[in-house]
């Protein structure tokens, strides 16, 4: 009897050890296989292209047809550039044509000073082209590409081989934080990562339900508190839960509204602090911005970048915006790279931002 009991206990202990070891190994293996290590812009671009291709393929599968291309999704932004570009092609070296382009850039929310700088530089670049329309357009494209380039857009994970890494999402209400987390959860889970969602928006009761629907769709674990619970403690619990499961990644949602603006920023600072206090490390704080709000959104964005150390921007609703130029303004004025863009409400409608692809899509 005692021997049997001992044997059972030993078997249970061995099984528990195996689970623990597997969790660690799985976490480490996933980490080493995970894309996103800092690399050159070209390598990041190639990786982005592969992901865009994969996402497009998956969306096509789901819809039973080919997915709309980035070019199609950017039709509104593209239309904003079409008229001035035609003028430029017709009278490629005339001052009026260049003024039209400057105005188009301003209307597309590139920003006043930046638009003028871009056009001046493009004119100088095209100076030797002798009015060749193709060369003039190429000069403008090259100038935009150059302004947009030079950032590391990978989504960082812990470099110590341990898990979890925490990606925190901040931004005003309705910008698309929860939707972006839902899309990313699917993408990361499909790529083999262990993902846990943290329902840190405890301000609205429906917010956690919305996140729970996304969790179900991707079959990932979610940690939620009761309505009105302390957001920082919900995120802390999610991080500990992820560590216990050997999950690689915690995607933490936050509220976009609080009782007063100061409270919101103070709350976010607390969430940011507490998220890294336990077993996790915050490797990304992503500011989610709605592209349709243009320069107004940018003013709000500054409050967030002042309060928390924002590592990247997710620009959503680019599909419905004629203000695609905000991508340039975000980077020029906030000094933070746009890492992802949202181009629709479906799960596959989130693409890594690639400067060349974006400029190509705007002008094609
Ligand atoms: N067209 C479009 N709609 C989006 C995109 N991202 C989010 N949305 C929609 O924007 C609305 C607000 O999104 P939500 O994730 O709830 O915003 P949150 O308050 O920041 O969490 C929802 O109706 C989303 O479906 C996008 O990239 N394109
Ligand atoms: Mg939300």
* Per-residue model confidence as pLDDT tens digits over 298-330: 888 999 999 999 999 999 999 888 788 888 999
The whole-number pLDDT of residue 287 equals: 97
pLDDT for residue 276 is more than 90: yes
CB 177 near ligand 1, within 6 Å: yes
Interval between CA 347 and ligand 1 midpoint (Å):
11
pLDDT given for residue 259 in this prediction: 62
Expressed in angstroms and rounded, the spacing between residue 316 Cα and the centre of ligand 1 is 7
Residue 175 CB–ligand 1 contact under 6 Å = yes
Comparing C-alpha atoms, which of 33, 155, 190 is closest to residue 182?
190
Q: Is the CB of 182 under 6 A from ligand 1?
A: no
At 118, give phi and psi (nearest 5°): -60, -45
pLDDT at residue 260, rounded to an integer: 67
For residue 179, report the distance from its CA to the centre of ligand 1, in Å. Answer: 6
Residue 254 · residue 177 · CB < 8 Å: yes
Three-state DSSP state, 223: strand
H-only helix segments in the chain: 2-33, 41-63, 70-73, 75-90, 95-107, 112-126, 133-148, 177-190, 205-218, 231-245, 261-275, 294-307, 326-334, 355-363
DSSP secondary structure, 31-76, as one string? HHH-S-----HHHHHHHHHHHHHHHHHHHHHHHTSPPPPHHHHTHH
> Distance between CA 178 and CA 196 in Å, rounded?
14
Q: Separation of 71 CA from ligand 1 center, angstroms? A: 20
Ligand 1, from 176, 198, 209, 211: best to mutate by most atoms within 8 Å of Cβ?
A: 176
Nearest to 48 by CA among 341, 346, 363: 341
Give the residue, by CA position, lying nearest to ligand 1 atom 1: 344
**Residue whose CA lies nearest to ligand 1 atom number 17:** 176
**Residue 183: CB within 6 Å of ligand 1?**
no
Query: Going by CA atoms, what residue is nearest to atom 10 of ligand 1?
Result: 176
Does the beta carbon of 320 sit less than 6 angstroms from any atom of ligand 1? Answer: yes
Tell which wins on pLDDT, 175 or 24: 175
Residue 53 has pLDDT above 60, yes or no: no
Q: Is 152 in the pocket of ligand 1 (CB under 6 A)?
A: no
N-term to C-term CA, the chain: 79
> From the alpha carbon of 320, which atom of ligand 1 is closest?
1
Any atom of ligand 1 within 6 Å of the Cβ of 200: no
Roughly what angle, to the nearest 10 degrees, separates helices 261-275 and 231-245?
20
Residue 15: what pLDDT?
52
Alpha carbons 79 and 144: distance in angstroms, whole number: 17
How many A from CA of 76 to the centre of ligand 1?
A: 18
Ligand 1 centre to CA of 170 (Å) is 13
Q: How far is the CA of 314 from the centre of ligand 1 (A)?
A: 12
* Mutation choice for ligand 1 from 173, 200, 345, CB with most ligand atoms inside 8 A: 345
**Which residues, at least 6 apart from 105, have a Cβ–Cβ distance to it below 8 Å?**
114, 115, 118, 119, 325
For residue 95, count CB atoms less than 10 angstroms from its CB and return exposed for 0-12, middle for 13-18, buried for 19 or more: exposed
Contacts of 305 (CB under 8 A, 6+ apart): 287, 334, 336
CA of 207 from ligand 2 middle (Å) equals 5
Report whether pLDDT(6) > 60.
no
| Ligand with the closest atom to the CA of 289 | 1
C-alpha distance from residue 96 to each of 103, 173, 334, 336 (Å): 10, 41, 31, 33
> Strand 350-352 to strand 338-342: parallel, antiparallel, or no bridges (unpaired)?
antiparallel
* Average pLDDT of the residues in 188-196: 96
For residues 225 and 132, the model is more confident at 225
Asked whether residue 64 carries a pLDDT value surpassing 50, the answer given is no
**pLDDT tier, 48 (very low <50, low <70, confident <90, very high otherwise):** very low
Q: What is the Cβ-side half-sphere exposure of residue 133, based on CA atoms within 13 angstroms?
A: 9
- What is the structure's pLDDT at 261? 66
Q: Can you spell out the DSSP letters for 70-134? A: HHHHTHHHHHHHHHHHHHHHHSTT-HHHHHHHHHHHHHTTS-HHHHHHHHHHHHHHHGGGTT-HH
**Contacts by 294-301, CB closer than 8 A, 24 or more apart:** 294/109, 294/321, 294/323, 294/326, 295/109, 295/111, 295/326, 295/329, 297/175, 297/326, 298/326, 298/329, 298/330, 298/333, 298/334, 300/172, 301/330, 301/334
| Phi and psi, residue 332, nearest 5° | -70, -40
Which of 88-102, 106-120, 137-151 has the least mean pLDDT? 88-102
């Amino acid at each position: 009897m005692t021997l049997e009991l001992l044997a059972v206990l030993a078997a249970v202990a061995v099984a528990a050890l195996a689970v623990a070891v597997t969790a660690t190994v799985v976490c480490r293996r996933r980490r080493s296989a995970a894309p996103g290590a800092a690399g050159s812009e070209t390598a990041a671009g190639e990786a982005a292209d592969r992901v865009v291709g994969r996402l497009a393929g998956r969306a096509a599968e789901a819809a039973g047809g080919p997915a709309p291309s980035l070019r199609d999704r950017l039709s509104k932004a593209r239309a904003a550039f079409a008229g001035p570009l035609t003028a430029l092609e017709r009278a490629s070296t005339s001052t009026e044509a260049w003024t039209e382009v400057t105005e188009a850039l301003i209307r597309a929310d590139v920003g006043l000073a930046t638009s003028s700088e871009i056009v001046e530089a493009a004119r100088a670049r095209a100076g030797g082209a002798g009015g060749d329309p193709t060369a003039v357009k190429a000069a403008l494209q090259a100038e935009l590409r150059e302004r947009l380039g030079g950032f590391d857009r990978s989504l960082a994970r812990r470099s110590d081989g341990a898990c979890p890494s925490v990606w925190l999402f901040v931004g005003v209400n309705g910008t698309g934080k929860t939707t972006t987390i839902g899309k990313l959860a699917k993408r990361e889970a499909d790529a083999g990562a262990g993902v846990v969602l943290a329902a840190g928006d405890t301000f609205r009761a429906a917010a956690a339900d919305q996140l729970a629907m996304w969790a179900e769709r991707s079959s990932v674990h979610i940690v939620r508190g009761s309505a009105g619970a302390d957001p920082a403690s919900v995120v802390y619990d999610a991080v500990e839960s992820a560590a216990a499961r050997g999950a690689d990644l915690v995607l933490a949602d936050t509220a976009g509204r609080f009782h007063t603006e100061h409270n919101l920023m103070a709350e976010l600072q607390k969430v940011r602090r507490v998220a890294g206090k336990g077993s996790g490390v915050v490797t990304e704080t992503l500011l989610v911005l709605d592209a349709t709000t243009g320069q107004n959104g940018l003013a709000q964005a500054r409050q967030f970048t002042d309060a928390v150390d924002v590592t990247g921007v997710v620009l959503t609703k680019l599909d419905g915006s004629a203000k695609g130029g905000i991508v340039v303004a975000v980077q020029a004025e906030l000094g933070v790279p746009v890492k992802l863009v949202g181009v629709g409400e479906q799960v596959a409608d989130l693409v890594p931002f690639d400067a060349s692809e974006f400029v190509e899509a705007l002008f094609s």
